[in-house]
Amino acid sequence: MSTHVKQRRTVNFTVASDSPWLTTPTTSGATPAQLNVTASPGAMAPGIYGGNLTLTAGSFTSKVAVTFTIELTGTLCDVNLDGVVNVADIQQEINEALGVLMAGNDQNKDGVVNAVDVQIEIGAVIGLGCWAH
């Protein structure tokens, strides 16, 4: 009795993205392989974004469609929506509490922007978390 084992053939491939927010550290490789993909929103506004990864192996090409949805940018304490909670957010809270900017950062939802909101923001900046709701 003989056993016939089918061997897999290694196939070389390349990977390319058509969107700057859709990346992979692997631009080429050989099968079998695992492909890690990252969606990096950066400063993108809320919305639905589409992109493609194109895999090419010899004369064969395959596109993988990727959809990325951003529902809300930043966090409750990321007042200026720049992706980080820092002193700039505290300054914006202070300005709004002083009436320099229109009120919109009522962190504890008590109807006013005041020192309590600034305290919440400071807690977030120093790593205590954004605990207001």
pLDDT at 127: 64
For residue 100, what are the CA distances in angstroms to 13, 91, 103, 104?
A: 57, 11, 9, 12
Architecture label for domain 74-133:
Orthogonal Bundle (1.10)
pLDDT at 80: 73
Domains in the chain: boundaries: 12-70, 74-133
pLDDT tens track, the chain, 133 positions = 556 666 678 899 999 999 998 988 889 999 888 888 888 877 677 788 999 999 999 999 999 999 888 776 556 677 777 777 777 777 777 777 666 555 556 667 776 666 777 777 777 666 666 654 3
pLDDT at 1: 56
Q: Which two tokens stand for residue 104?
A: 């919109």
Given a contact cutoff of 8 angstroms between Cβ atoms, the answer to whether 53 and 68 are in contact is no
pTM: 0.49
Given a contact cutoff of 8 angstroms between Cβ atoms, the answer to whether 41 and 55 are in contact is no
Query: 70-74 long-range contacts, Cβ below 8 Å, gap at least 24?
Result: 70/41, 70/44, 70/45, 70/46, 71/46, 72/46, 73/41, 73/43, 73/44, 73/45, 73/46
DSSP state of 40: -
Cα(102)–Cα(14) distance, rounded to whole angstroms? Answer: 51
Nearest-5° Cα angle at 87, 81 to 91: 80
